[in-house]
Amino acid sequence: MAPENNRREASRDEAAVNGGFVPETTQTSSAQTARIFDTLLSSIVDLVYIFGRDGRFLYANKRLLDLLGITLGEIVGKNFHDLPYPPELAHRLQQQIEQVVRTKQIVRDETPFQSPTGVDGVYEYIFTPVLDSRGEVDVVAGSTRDITERKQAEDQERARLTNIFEQAPAFMSVTRGASHIFEMVNPPYYQLIGHRDIIGRSVADAIPEVVEQGFITLLDQVYRTGEPYVGKDVPIQFQTTPDGPLEERFVDFTYQPLRDADGLITGILAFGIDLTERRRLETERETLLGETQRRNQREALLYQIGQAIRATDDSDEVQAQAVALLGEALGLDLCHAATFDPARDAWHVAPDWHRPDLPSLAGDYPMSVWRALSEEVVLREGTAVFPDVMAASPPLSSDTRALFARMNVRAYVIVPSHDASGIP
């Protein structure tokens, strides 16, 4: 194609985009061209019109004239303020025409409108600049489409989704903007955070206790990157009552970015499940299982000791069997029985059970060697627990500490036994 033809085609395409009309011949009369132009534009379902730079109508097709209930002669030369439009809408439309003339940019918008003929609807419109040969705005072309049915369908779909949102068993919320302003929240979400006024407020302002827990940082990350965030069994604390303590909850949740028609992120959908009650039940179950297991172990140990008692009349053998069974059942490193006589400063250790790799403790000791384990502890305080024998208070004797050190013993428990008269 020759360069001149290229320029002609480009000029025709540009004119078509800008709402112009490029005739192939000048043989057609102006009146006939006008009739063709009007017939063509009046045969389409959209409202089509042209404004001068001053915002006054130069042309309107039959669809718009019928909607307003006027003739072409009654609309030409007038602006929106002169026609049956609500004052606020007329002001907005005139400003938008001025914006097109000033910026040379297309304006798109939509508005509800009730015509003088009683037709209610929602209309989507576009104002487009038509440029002259110098690149200046010559006229403004406009078209309007009735989108009432589409909006009604969107409203019905929105109502359906809102109902699902409200009825969903999962907690859900929708925030808008980079500040994460609450737009929608369903009942389970209110139940999770404690009922408080949060709609129209930022997450940081409405639920300040989550700021230090890192959740605003997560929201910022999702909004910035567009990547969803999924959390599993995450602990989170809420102040569910004013001035009350923080209460820990456990949740599975997802932060899902929301996008507009152009793909730009506009907000975040948060949804998830409160696992707190399930965690409580699991903890109770584990506790019960642990108690049952310990009870079974205790009963098994007592049964074994009972079997040992029935197998012999020798009290020393019964005691030795009991010490061994107790050490094995509790997973101890060593276990022994000891008798003492404070009057004679005597402490006799026997029988004795221990791991094969450890030395025996069996033998006779002066009570002074076991000072912290002797009469003061056993007689006056009952069971004595030493989580760290090297840091016992009062301190063990140096001989006792040396003995435990040789055996690598760090913790020690003493349970007193009593004779028939109740004396240890």
Pairwise CA distance, residues 301 & 424, whole Å:
23
Predicted confidence at residue 306, as pLDDT, reads 77
Q: Full-prediction pTM beyond 0.85?
A: no
Give the residue ranges of DSSP H helices in 44-132. Answer: 62-68, 72-75, 87-103
For residue 120, pLDDT over 80 is answered with yes
Residues written for the chain: 424
pLDDT tens-digit map of 198-217: 999 999 999 999 999 999 99
pLDDT tens-digit map of 398-415: 777 777 777 677 777 766
pLDDT tens-digit map of 156-165: 877 887 788 8
351: amino acid identity, one letter? P
User: Tokens standing for 372?
Assistant: 């912290």
User: Tokens standing for 16?
Assistant: 């078509």
Are the CB atoms for 317 and 331 separated by under 8 Å? no
Q: Which residue has the higher pLDDT, 378 or 237?
A: 237
Name the pLDDT band for 30 (thresholds 50, 70, 90). low
For residue 270, which of 206, 211, 223 has the smallest C-alpha distance? 223
